[in-house]
Structure 1
Amino acid sequence: MALNSVNTNVGAMVALQNLNSTNNELNTVQSRINTGKKVASAKDNGAVWAIAQSQRGTSQSLNAVKDSIMRGQSTIDVAVAAGESVSDLLVSMKEKALAASDASLDSTSRAALNEDFKALRDQIGKAVSNADFNGSNMIKASGTTIYALANADGSSKITVAAQSLALGGSNVTVAAAGTIGTVTTATAMIATVTTSIANVGSALAKLGTGAKALDSHLSFVGKLQDALDAGVGNLVDADLAKESAKLQALQTKQQLGVQALSIANQSSSSLLGLFR
């Protein structure tokens, strides 16, 4: 190839190639600064983008897990509140039954105590039937057992069993028609109510344990989600301090490239001096 040619300017070609390469690098750095990501799309790094997208999916799915756990917590909270009311009512009923077991009471006083007892008994039924949250009631007869989501693919669940506190059930053994109208029924009712108080306490303890398990897992899920998000950031986020320094270097390199191309383009015009 001729060393001095106006048809082929090798120096200009090399300078242009270098300038184009610098401009491409500069576009990449500017894109990272604009998006804050070194891997913003699959074309930047397909393997890393796919891994990051998978982890984003897991992290987003954990939002549904947190919602499920919080619904379960709310349902249990309502059940526990109603259960505590039931326990308080049973304590009052025991007092009435004990008072009515006194054989020296006149009929008027016994009847008044019996009416109070029945009112308390009926209030238990109302408390149990109204302990609903989002259509779920854990303390009615055949109540709703909680199955809260525990992981992102739904393969694991946290179970909190229903605890029936309905009248005449396995825990509250006081019958829906139970009374203390006589000394005999009042005396028998003392033992029945005492047993019911113990059973309700045990049922509430089970609900409380279930609530604590949900609370603990909710905390874990929150930490897991944070760890996943941090992991995705490690994969795709750009180091803006580094990119800023690189931007400065590339801008300087771009200016030098433009000057180099200008010098190379001037080389052919210098050949005109040979013909003067």
Structure 2
Amino acid sequence: MLSINTNVGAMIALQNLGAVNRELSEVTRRISTGLKISSVKDDPATWVIAQGQRAEMKSLNAVTGSLQRGQSIVDVAISGGETISDLLSQMKEKMLAASDPSLNASDRAAISADYVALRKQIDLTASNAAFNGVSLISSGSSGNVRALANAAATDSINVDHVDLSTTGGLLSGTLADLTTVTAADLTNLDNALKGVNGAVAKLGTGSKALDTHANFISKLQDTLEASIGRLVDADLAKESARFQALQVKQQLAIQALSIANQQPNLILQLFRN
């Protein structure tokens, strides 16, 4: 039926044109943002998952920062511990030299002065081997490392404090000077050196653990980022092809609407002589 009041063909063409325009607008958004899901309206379930993973990634930034601070503290302590080990080796040399019974008093006093200076240097090193105010080898028992290991803060990588000063348990048995030297004194110093080396080795183990976990967290963040991308990123090759096809459909829909709008004019032909 031909009617000038109701143009069914035009309504159908207009509906199709509207649908194509909406789809074209969606594809344009995906191309411009690079995301197939940029809003919760696009896919609520996937958006929630992606947001959760983004929050996890941001939390891992704090974990990385904590691990890096721990690495710096431990590495500074290791440098101090290695220096103290070297100082103890020099002290052992001085002690062995002072044990020579053929030395006169002035020679022994000179060697003792060097020994005392080295011993003081140990305390100076232990008290200054700190990062951001935290030292793992200073006098006392404060300054432990408790680095975050996960985003939930339920695990940590721990590196404990060890006193490498001359008042600590490892070095308190060493002589204050070399006025008199016995075989037992040499043994005590040798034990102190072994103890310091063992403590520095433990610090090295802690540093390696922090390094390894920091590398893992970095890889975990990369994996999470890739996983989020698979969920929300648009395939621009497909979107480009779709964009071209929709442009053609849009032109065809416009042409169909134009044809449908011309149909009422055919009624005039019925009234011509």
User: Is the shorter-chain TM-score for this pair beyond 0.5, marking a shared fold?
Assistant: yes
* 2:32 aligns with one of 31, 34, 42: 34
Match of residue 259 from structure 1: 255
SS in 1 for 2:135: coil
Moved more, 188-197 or 240-249: 188-197
Structure 1: how far apart are the matches of 2:32 and 2:153? 37
Partner of 1:172: 171
Equivalence map 1:237-252=2 (5 Å) = 237-252=233-248
Q: Deviations over 1:112-167 (max 9, x none)?
A: 01100000000000000001101110001213111000001111111111121011
Q: Hey, what's the Cα distance between the residues in 2 that align with 1:102 and 1:143?
A: 40
Structure-1 separation of matches of 2:185 and 2:25: 85
Letter of the aligned partner of 2:239 in structure 1?
E
Paired residues of 2:95 and 2:181 also in contact (CA < 8 A): no
- CA distance in structure 2 between the aligned counterparts of 1:108 and 1:201, rounded to whole angstroms: 33
**Match for residue 76 of structure 2 among 68, 75, 78:** 78
Match of 2:156 in 1: 157
Does the CA-based 8 Å contact 2:144-2:160 persist in structure 1? yes
Offset of residue 188 of structure 1: 3.8
Query: 1:217 Cα deviation (Å)?
Result: 0.7
**Amino acid of the structure 1 residue aligned with 2:155:** S
Cα displacement string for residues 205-241 of structure 1 (whole angstroms, at most 9, x for unaligned residues): 1101111111111111111111111110000000000
- Rounded to whole Å, the distance in 2 between the matches of 1:194 and 1:37 is 66
- Alignment partner, residue 229 of structure 1: 225
State the TM-score, normalized to the length of structure 2: 0.97
1:143-202: CA deviations, max 9, x gaps? 311100000111111111112101131222345x71111244xx4431221011000011
Secondary structure class of the residue paired with 1:163: coil
Q: Does 1:24 align with 2:11?
A: no
The answer on whether the counterparts of 1:143 and 1:164 sit within 8 Å (CA) in structure 2 is: no
Partner amino acid, structure 1, of 2:214:
L
Residues 151 and 157, structure 1, Cα contact 8 Å, conserved in 2: yes
Residue aligning to 1:66 = 64
Question: How do 1:263-274 residues align onto structure 2 when only pairs under 5 Å count?
Answer: 263-274=259-270
Which runs of no fewer than 5 residues in structure 2 stay unpaired?
none
Match of 1:7 in 2: 5
Q: Give yes or no for contact 1:90–1:197 (8 Å, CA) kept in 2.
A: yes
CA RMSD of superposed structures (Å): 1.1
Which blocks of at least 5 consecutive residues in structure 1 are unaligned? none
Cα offset, 1:60, TM superposition: 1.1
Q: How does 1:99-138 map to 2 (within 5 A)?
A: 99-138=97-136
Match of 1:148 in 2: 147
TM-score (norm 1): 0.96
C-alpha separation in 2, matches of 1:25 and 1:248: 12
Give the whole-Å Cα distance in 2 for the aligned partners of 1:132 and 1:223.
29
Contact 2:50–2:232, Cα closer than 8 Å, also in 1: yes
Aligned-partner Cα distance in 1 for 2:206–2:108: 42
Any runs of at least 4 consecutive aligned residues in structure 1 with deviations exceeding 3 A, and if so which? none
Q: Given residue 219 of structure 1, which amino acid in structure 2 is its aligned partner?
A: N
Counterpart selection for 1:95 from 86, 93, 96 = 93
The DSSP-based 3-state class of the residue aligned with 1:52 is helix
C-alpha distance in 2 between matches for 1:97 and 1:156: 46
SS in 2 for 1:39: coil
Q: Secondary structure at the match of 1:182?
A: coil
